[in-house]
Amino acid sequence: MVKYTLQSSLPNATALAFYEFMVNAPAEVYANWLPEEHYEFHIVKRSNKSPVGDLVYFDQNIGHKYRMKFFATIKEANKPNRIVFQMRKFGITLPGYLELDFLDTAEGLALTETLRIGFNGLGKICDPFIKIVYGNKFFQVFKEHHKKEWKNLSDILSHAE
Protein backbone atom coordinates (compact mmCIF):
# COMPACT_ATOMS: atom_id res chain seq x y z
CA MET A 1 0.00 0.00 0.00
CA VAL A 2 1.15 3.50 -0.81
CA LYS A 3 0.31 5.97 1.93
CA TYR A 4 1.26 9.64 1.96
CA THR A 5 0.33 11.95 4.82
CA LEU A 6 0.90 15.68 4.59
CA GLN A 7 0.11 18.38 7.13
CA SER A 8 -0.42 22.10 6.86
CA SER A 9 -1.16 24.88 9.28
CA LEU A 10 -3.40 27.50 7.73
CA PRO A 11 -3.94 30.75 9.63
CA ASN A 12 -7.29 32.45 9.00
CA ALA A 13 -8.94 29.14 8.00
CA THR A 14 -11.59 27.16 9.82
CA ALA A 15 -12.52 23.49 9.85
CA LEU A 16 -16.17 24.27 9.12
CA ALA A 17 -15.38 26.39 6.04
CA PHE A 18 -13.08 23.72 4.62
CA TYR A 19 -15.54 20.93 5.39
CA GLU A 20 -18.46 22.78 3.78
CA PHE A 21 -16.41 23.54 0.70
CA MET A 22 -15.35 19.91 0.25
CA VAL A 23 -18.89 18.53 0.50
CA ASN A 24 -20.53 21.22 -1.64
CA ALA A 25 -18.04 23.44 -3.47
CA PRO A 26 -19.69 26.46 -5.08
CA ALA A 27 -18.66 26.51 -8.76
CA GLU A 28 -17.71 30.20 -8.68
CA VAL A 29 -15.39 29.65 -5.69
CA TYR A 30 -13.91 26.44 -7.11
CA ALA A 31 -13.16 28.21 -10.41
CA ASN A 32 -10.73 30.48 -8.55
CA TRP A 33 -9.07 27.80 -6.42
CA LEU A 34 -6.22 26.74 -8.74
CA PRO A 35 -7.53 27.35 -12.26
CA GLU A 36 -4.27 26.26 -13.91
CA GLU A 37 -4.43 22.83 -12.22
CA HIS A 38 -8.02 22.29 -10.98
CA TYR A 39 -10.57 21.86 -13.72
CA GLU A 40 -13.74 20.41 -12.22
CA PHE A 41 -15.13 19.36 -8.85
CA HIS A 42 -18.85 18.91 -8.27
CA ILE A 43 -21.50 16.63 -6.83
CA VAL A 44 -22.84 14.29 -9.51
CA LYS A 45 -25.41 12.49 -7.39
CA ARG A 46 -26.61 13.05 -3.84
CA SER A 47 -27.33 10.06 -1.65
CA ASN A 48 -30.20 9.77 0.80
CA LYS A 49 -27.58 9.99 3.58
CA SER A 50 -25.85 13.01 2.05
CA PRO A 51 -23.02 13.85 2.19
CA VAL A 52 -22.05 10.22 2.95
CA GLY A 53 -22.66 8.29 -0.25
CA ASP A 54 -22.58 11.37 -2.49
CA LEU A 55 -20.86 10.81 -5.82
CA VAL A 56 -18.35 13.54 -6.66
CA TYR A 57 -16.51 14.19 -9.92
CA PHE A 58 -13.09 15.79 -9.95
CA ASP A 59 -10.52 16.55 -12.59
CA GLN A 60 -7.20 18.11 -11.69
CA ASN A 61 -3.50 18.01 -12.37
CA ILE A 62 -1.09 17.42 -9.56
CA GLY A 63 1.78 19.74 -10.44
CA HIS A 64 1.02 19.53 -14.19
CA LYS A 65 2.48 16.01 -14.21
CA TYR A 66 -0.20 13.70 -12.88
CA ARG A 67 -3.76 13.98 -14.16
CA MET A 68 -6.29 12.88 -11.57
CA LYS A 69 -9.65 12.47 -13.26
CA PHE A 70 -12.01 10.35 -11.18
CA PHE A 71 -15.35 9.98 -9.59
CA ALA A 72 -15.28 9.53 -5.83
CA THR A 73 -17.79 8.42 -3.25
CA ILE A 74 -17.85 10.19 0.10
CA LYS A 75 -17.35 7.30 2.50
CA GLU A 76 -17.11 9.27 5.73
CA ALA A 77 -18.17 12.79 6.69
CA ASN A 78 -17.79 13.87 10.30
CA LYS A 79 -18.72 17.54 10.29
CA PRO A 80 -16.58 19.64 10.58
CA ASN A 81 -13.46 17.54 11.11
CA ARG A 82 -13.16 14.69 8.61
CA ILE A 83 -14.06 13.67 5.07
CA VAL A 84 -13.00 10.48 3.29
CA PHE A 85 -13.37 10.03 -0.47
CA GLN A 86 -12.98 6.67 -2.24
CA MET A 87 -12.04 6.80 -5.90
CA ARG A 88 -14.05 5.26 -8.73
CA LYS A 89 -13.17 4.89 -12.40
CA PHE A 90 -15.27 3.34 -15.18
CA GLY A 91 -17.90 2.45 -12.55
CA ILE A 92 -15.40 0.40 -10.55
CA THR A 93 -14.63 1.24 -6.93
CA LEU A 94 -10.86 1.54 -6.62
CA PRO A 95 -8.56 0.97 -3.64
CA GLY A 96 -7.73 4.68 -3.49
CA TYR A 97 -8.75 6.98 -0.65
CA LEU A 98 -8.31 10.67 0.04
CA GLU A 99 -8.72 11.47 3.73
CA LEU A 100 -8.98 15.07 4.90
CA ASP A 101 -8.85 15.88 8.59
CA PHE A 102 -9.53 19.43 9.80
CA LEU A 103 -8.86 20.74 13.29
CA ASP A 104 -9.40 24.28 14.53
CA THR A 105 -6.50 25.52 16.65
CA ALA A 106 -5.53 28.86 18.20
CA GLU A 107 -3.24 29.41 15.18
CA GLY A 108 -5.90 28.57 12.58
CA LEU A 109 -6.65 25.31 10.80
CA ALA A 110 -4.50 22.21 11.21
CA LEU A 111 -5.06 20.19 8.03
CA THR A 112 -3.96 16.60 7.49
CA GLU A 113 -4.29 15.14 4.00
CA THR A 114 -3.73 11.40 3.58
CA LEU A 115 -3.68 9.61 0.25
CA ARG A 116 -3.90 5.80 0.46
CA ILE A 117 -3.66 3.61 -2.63
CA GLY A 118 -3.46 -0.15 -2.46
CA PHE A 119 -5.07 -3.38 -1.51
CA ASN A 120 -5.53 -5.50 1.57
CA GLY A 121 -5.31 -9.28 1.57
CA LEU A 122 -4.46 -11.10 -1.65
CA GLY A 123 -4.71 -7.88 -3.65
CA LYS A 124 -1.41 -6.74 -2.10
CA ILE A 125 0.37 -8.49 -4.97
CA CYS A 126 -0.60 -5.46 -7.09
CA ASP A 127 1.03 -2.96 -4.73
CA PRO A 128 4.48 -3.01 -6.43
CA PHE A 129 2.82 -1.86 -9.67
CA ILE A 130 0.98 0.90 -7.83
CA LYS A 131 4.28 2.07 -6.36
CA ILE A 132 5.75 2.41 -9.85
CA VAL A 133 3.16 5.07 -10.75
CA TYR A 134 2.68 6.61 -7.30
CA GLY A 135 6.24 6.37 -5.97
CA ASN A 136 8.75 8.97 -4.81
CA LYS A 137 8.47 11.21 -7.89
CA PHE A 138 4.72 11.40 -7.41
CA PHE A 139 5.13 12.11 -3.70
CA GLN A 140 7.44 15.07 -4.33
CA VAL A 141 4.99 16.60 -6.81
CA PHE A 142 2.06 15.81 -4.51
CA LYS A 143 3.83 17.51 -1.59
CA GLU A 144 4.36 20.74 -3.57
CA HIS A 145 0.78 20.66 -4.84
CA HIS A 146 -0.51 20.16 -1.29
CA LYS A 147 1.24 23.29 -0.01
CA LYS A 148 0.01 25.46 -2.86
CA GLU A 149 -3.49 23.97 -3.07
CA TRP A 150 -4.55 24.35 0.56
CA LYS A 151 -2.96 27.76 1.12
CA ASN A 152 -4.78 29.02 -1.97
CA LEU A 153 -8.10 27.59 -0.76
CA SER A 154 -7.57 29.23 2.61
CA ASP A 155 -7.07 32.59 0.90
CA ILE A 156 -10.12 32.16 -1.31
CA LEU A 157 -12.42 31.08 1.53
CA SER A 158 -11.28 33.93 3.77
CA HIS A 159 -12.20 36.41 1.00
CA ALA A 160 -15.53 34.71 0.30
CA GLU A 161 -16.79 35.09 3.86
Per-residue model confidence as pLDDT tens digits over 112-160: 999 999 988 888 888 888 888 889 999 999 999 999 999 999 998 887 6
Q: How does pLDDT run across 15-41, given as a tens digit for each residue? A: 999 999 999 998 888 888 998 999 999
Q: How does pLDDT run across 57-93, given as a tens digit for each residue? A: 999 999 878 999 999 999 999 999 999 999 999 999 9
At residue 98, φ and ψ (nearest 5 deg) are -115, 120
* pTM as predicted: 0.93
Per-residue CA distances from 13 to 25, 40, 78, 104, 157 (Å): 16, 23, 18, 8, 8
pLDDT band at 161 (very low <50, low <70, confident <90, very high): low
